[in-house]
Amino acid sequence: MHKYIIMGIQGCGKGTQGKMLEDDFDLVHISVGDIFRWNIQRHTKLGARINRIINEGKLVSDEIVEEIISSRLKEHDWNYGFILDGFPRSRPQTEFFLESYDIDAVIHIKVPDKLVYDRVLSRRLCSVCGLDYNLISHRPEEENTCDVCGGSLITREDDNEQAVGKRIEEYHNKTEPVLELLERKELVVHVDGTKPVKDVQIEIRKKLDLPLDSLMQKESA
Ligand code: AMP
């Protein structure tokens, strides 16, 4: 059983790296942002409460986030473990979480702020399967069309300059102190998120003592 948290400023690649760990180690990848976007798209009551906050790049309240995480983990569908993506993002969320759960490691993907704008503003998402694209480093073969399912690509509403600026500010003010707290518990491994996707994944696995074979097999296939 592996229980991980993956952290880093927006656009650092936590979604992509988390998904790679999910696929190879049967972990359940829990992204609070994805759960929120699901609710917004389906116009649920929760979606209506959080839509504006997210579009402005602010953090959703700790109470709402804690409720989402508790009920998601209570599903107990994580026989081989889980990877939490984008949680915790504040000190109260961290304290709340550590009261009930333990964790094996926190993966911190480091990228400088100046890369964040370029990466996030060129990000696109498939409107059907949710796959991530990037117009700089991972372009779809056909413009605006998902290579995998043919769905049309969209830009996240909070991927605009103003919201990106706010999210960077929230990250430094509220999320970075969380890293310090977790670091004191000797849980954090730091990886360089400026490298190509596969190299970042290799660094993560080496630092977590996870096998690399499945990554290498994919390359030779
Ligand atoms: P993400 O997909 O991780 O970039 O999250 C998108 C947005 O969802 C963030 O900018 C926040 O508004 C909100 N959000 C996601 N996770 C959290 C969290 N742990 N605490 C507060 N707000 C969150």
Say which CATH number the domain at 197 has: 3.40.50.300
From 37, 60, 97, mutation site for ligand 1 pocket: most ligand atoms within 8 A of C-beta: 60
Cα–Cα distance between 109 and 72 in angstroms, integer? 24
More confident residue, 216 or 107: 107
Per-residue model confidence (pLDDT) at position 168: 94
In this structure, are 100 and 125 located in the same domain?
no
In this structure, are 142 and 85 located in the same domain?
no
* Residue 88 CA, closest ligand 1 atom number: 19
Cα–Cα distance between 98 and 186 in angstroms, integer? 14
Helix pair 197-208, 213-220: axis angle to 10 deg: 150
Number of domains in the chain: 2
What are the distances in angstroms from CA 133 to CA 127, 129, 160?
A: 11, 12, 16
Per-residue model confidence (pLDDT) at position 213: 82
Per-residue model confidence (pLDDT) at position 219: 64
Average pLDDT over residues 196-206: 95
Pocket of ligand 1 (CB under 6 A): 10, 32-33, 36, 53-54, 57-60, 65, 86-89, 93, 158, 167
User: Helix (H, G, I), strand (E, B), or coil: what is residue 6?
Assistant: strand
Q: Note the pLDDT tens digit of each residue in 59-110.
A: 999 999 999 999 999 998 999 999 999 999 999 999 999 998 999 999 999 9
In this structure, are 177 and 150 located in the same domain?
no
In this structure, are 27 and 106 located in the same domain?
yes
Q: Tokens 């309240």 — which residue?
A: 61
In this structure, are 103 and 10 located in the same domain?
yes
In this structure, are 62 and 35 located in the same domain?
yes
- Report the C-alpha dihedral over residues 88, 130, 29, 169, rounded to 10 degrees: -20
Q: Tokens 């209570």 — which residue?
A: 74
Q: Has residue 130 got a pLDDT over 80?
A: yes
Q: 207: CA distance to ligand 1 center in Å?
A: 26
Q: Note the pLDDT tens digit of each residue in 136-177.
A: 888 999 999 999 999 999 998 889 999 999 999 999 999 999
Please provide the average confidence, as pLDDT, over all residues in the chain: 92
Q: Has residue 183 got a pLDDT over 80?
A: yes
* Residue 50 CA, closest ligand 1 atom number: 12
In this structure, are 118 and 106 located in the same domain?
no
**Structural domain harbouring 139:** 112-155
